[in-house]
Structure 1
Amino acid sequence: MKKSTLLLFGVLITLFSACQEDKEKVEEAPTESFRNEVAATEVNVATAERKSFDYLIQATGKLEAGAEVLAVIEQAGYLLEVNVREGQYVKKGDIIAKLDPTEPEFRLEKAKISLRNANAEYESAKMGYETLFSSDNSEQKDVVDEQLKAKSGVFLAEVELREAQMSFDRSVVKAPISGQVADLKFKAGSLVSANAELCQVLGTSEFILKVKVLESDISLISINQKAEVYPISNTQTALHGKVTGINPRVDESGLVQVSITLAANKALLPGMNARAIIRAPQNNSLVVPKDALVYRSGRAVVFSIENKESKWNYVEVGKDNGEEVEILDGLEENSTVITSNNLQLAHQAPVQIIKE
């Protein structure tokens, strides 16, 4: 009985040892064989290139007419005619409104009569100096002639005539510039005061878009730099303009006003909202497609490929133009980077490049 117990104990020890060896063999199975069992992730790739990189500075603003001038009614009176409507195109000097001219005409005629009377008195007084005016003493003649004109009231009458003519001329309102009429405030029959605003004339031969950009970007912008403008009414078609003004003051929000001038376009109206893109070329930058960039725990990561496996690279990101990203550190030039299926990708995961 004792021998049977010992024999059974020996068999159990042998079986336990065999199981332990099998377990160790499983645990010692190489990682390589495990990777081979995992299906390779199919990925698209690109090359990290050092090249010129267009950084895009984007901002929105409102369009303004290239010129905006008030048409002012310079004297009080009744408006007999208003010859324009809003939106109408006028040329500089066109008569756009008329006041009742009765009183200005009367003052003008009165001033003309006063000047004729003064001249008659002057000629009469001049007859007493026939000898002097027939002589060659030009200096003395000029002195006496001026005195006679002053005494007879010629000088004063001439000034009053000019004033009356100016008053008469103000009974018509002329377009101050060529452009379109906007904000018409009066109609025929209105009683207006002196210096009342009749309308605005918008010079739309060019437009100005004023936008605000970050002060950190202002060093990348210069006068005559090209810009693309997308009106809200047509966000698909770019209009071409150039930077014509940079305000030297930074506002309380850390923004700087930049003016972009663009040519006239029938689709544009003053006050229209628009988006501007100013291209700022960056030379000799290491660039990857934006799709190559992912974030893990708040840090920027780009996966490259080495030996058919993904490699996790923490990178320092620079400027971004919406399509490409500038890499400042963490990635070697000419690296093959993964641009698809990289959101859940792990380090040293097997990958297969999709052939296009």
Structure 2
Amino acid sequence: MKRLFLISTCFLFCLACKKQEVVVEQIDQATLRKEAQPTEVRVATAEYRPFEFLVSATGTIESENELEIIFEGSGYLEELGIENGQKVKKGQVIGRLQNEKEKFALEKATVAFDKSYLNFRNDSISRGSNITKDVINTFELNSGLKDARINLREAQISLENTIIRAPSDGIIVDLATKKGSLISAGKKLCDIYDGQNLTLTAKILETDFGYIKPGLVADVFPLARRDQSFVAKVDEINPRVDEFGMVQIELKLNQTEGLLPGMNANAIVRVPQAKHIIVPREAVVIKQGKSVIFTVVNGTAQWKYVEIGLDNGTDVEVLDGLQDGDQVVLTNNIQLAHDAKVSIASQDVSTSKQ
């Protein structure tokens, strides 16, 4: 009887154990994907076209034709007809020194010349028609005409040096003196620059030197005109690396309205490369240590390993892994999975926009 009781107890214990078993239902991943809401993404179209490598440069805007105007004579500045920022024409009188002494000296030199010329003419008439170059030279020396001519020219130059004229068309800057000032010869009056011919003297990294050549187009962004860009071309390259590892280049600006010498500016030089598939930089993500781009095919994201070339900060070259016309995902692609459902948020973006 005792043995029968033990068997019954074991049987009931086994039944109790069976009732406590937990059934785990297997999750169908494919079913989950079908039921999940599509991830909203923005896309761009991959394009087969020349890639533009962008070289950054920083520098200062300068005038190609900037001149320093100095006084040739000395004395009090009697007249001053200019101010900073004024536009002047070549030959325009912009200042005048007190010149009574110079005028008097010119008058004396003119009288002396006239007297010498009269003596020369009388000597020539007395000689008659038979007169040679040697004889003329002798008469000029004897009459004092040669000396008088030199003295007259010297007096004319002295008077002319009291009158300051603009050496070229341009704009007055750095006016350094005032009317009534006592001036010495060689003192600076002002500078004048040509506002129509401006260049950006800039520096690039020596590692970018091999990409730059004359004629390349650049976009210039003056710090004082943040809302506006200007077009320029590489005009000159100084083939020397300075102590900071920089190379100087000259960019000739096509537009100059609103620009001033001395303005600081940044520039982006566009360097065309060979044709490749081009996509926006944000299309590339790193998965498992490799470059990946997701494309959209029939409403699903397709994971593609790609080989990346040059990167200009905006676009990248894709050397292998994509085709011309592929739609590439730009947003929400960090956590995106292969075959995930996606919906396009807006019209696709062209990679040709820089």
| TM class by smaller structure | 0.7 to 0.9
| Aligned-partner Cα distance in 2 for 1:280–1:120 | 74
CA 1:150–1:230 in 2, change beyond 3 Å: closer, same or farther?
A: same
Q: Report the equivalent of 2:196.
A: 205
Q: Report the equivalent of 2:175.
A: 184
Counterpart among 199, 205, 210 of residue 214 in structure 1: 205
Counterpart among 69, 83, 87 of residue 89 in structure 1: 87
CA 1:53–1:144 in 2, change beyond 3 Å: closer, same or farther?
A: same
SS at match of 2:207: helix
CA 1:46–1:119 in 2, change beyond 3 Å: closer, same or farther?
A: closer
Structure 1 stretches lacking a partner, 5+ long? none
| Aligned-partner Cα distance in 1 for 2:99–2:202 | 47
The one-letter amino acid of 1:293's match is V
Instruction: State TM-score, norm by structure 1.
Output: 0.82
CA 1:149–1:303 in 2, change beyond 3 Å: closer, same or farther?
A: same
Q: Report the equivalent of 1:80.
A: 78
Kindly indicate whether the alpha-carbon contact (under 8 Å) linking 1:300 and 1:317 is maintained by their aligned counterparts in 2. Answer: no
Counterpart among 334, 344, 353 of residue 354 in structure 1: 344
**Counterparts of residues 310-321 of structure 1 (less than 5 Å):** 310-311=302-303, 313=305, 315-321=307-313
Structure 2 stretches lacking a partner, 5+ long? 347-354
SS at match of 2:109: helix
The one-letter amino acid of 1:149's match is E
Structure ranking higher in helix proportion? 1
CA 1:332–1:240 in 2, change beyond 3 Å: closer, same or farther?
A: closer
Q: How many residues align?
A: 343
Q: Report the equivalent of 1:118.
A: 116
Q: Report the equivalent of 2:186.
A: 195
Kindly indicate whether the alpha-carbon contact (under 8 Å) linking 2:140 and 2:146 is maintained by their aligned counterparts in 1. Answer: yes
Kindly indicate whether the alpha-carbon contact (under 8 Å) linking 1:305 and 1:311 is maintained by their aligned counterparts in 2. Answer: no
CA RMSD of aligned residues (A): 3.2
Displacement of 1:353:
3.4
Displacement of 1:30:
6.0
| Aligned-partner Cα distance in 1 for 2:153–2:38 | 95
| Aligned-partner Cα distance in 2 for 1:104–1:95 | 18
Displacement of 1:305:
5.5
Q: Report the equivalent of 2:323.
A: 333
Kindly indicate whether the alpha-carbon contact (under 8 Å) linking 2:43 and 2:329 is maintained by their aligned counterparts in 1. Answer: yes
CA 1:337–1:15 in 2, change beyond 3 Å: closer, same or farther?
A: farther
Instruction: State TM-score, norm by structure 2.
Output: 0.82
Displacement of 1:87:
1.1
Mean Cα deviation higher: 101-110 or 115-124: 115-124
Deviation string for 1:171-202 (max 9, x for gaps)? 10001111111111111111111111101111
Counterpart among 272, 280, 284 of residue 281 in structure 1: 272
Kindly indicate whether the alpha-carbon contact (under 8 Å) linking 2:61 and 2:262 is maintained by their aligned counterparts in 1. Answer: yes
Kindly indicate whether the alpha-carbon contact (under 8 Å) linking 2:281 and 2:311 is maintained by their aligned counterparts in 1. Answer: no
Q: Report the equivalent of 1:164.
A: 155
Kindly indicate whether the alpha-carbon contact (under 8 Å) linking 1:205 and 1:263 is maintained by their aligned counterparts in 2. Answer: no
Deviation string for 1:135-182 (max 9, x for gaps)? 3xx5xx222221232233322221121111111110100011111111
SS at match of 1:212: strand
Percent identity (aligned): 32
SS at match of 1:303: strand
Kindly indicate whether the alpha-carbon contact (under 8 Å) linking 1:39 and 1:350 is maintained by their aligned counterparts in 2. Answer: no
| Aligned-partner Cα distance in 2 for 1:316–1:179 | 51
Q: Report the equivalent of 2:107.
A: 109
Q: Report the equivalent of 1:60.
A: 58
Tell me, yes or no, if structure 1 residue 134 matches structure 2 residue 129.
yes
| Aligned-partner Cα distance in 2 for 1:188–1:35 | 86
Tell me, yes or no, if structure 1 residue 225 matches structure 2 residue 220.
no
CA 1:16–1:37 in 2, change beyond 3 Å: closer, same or farther?
A: farther
Tell me, yes or no, if structure 1 residue 5 matches structure 2 residue 3.
no
| Aligned-partner Cα distance in 2 for 1:10–1:312 | 59
Kindly indicate whether the alpha-carbon contact (under 8 Å) linking 1:320 and 1:326 is maintained by their aligned counterparts in 2. Answer: no
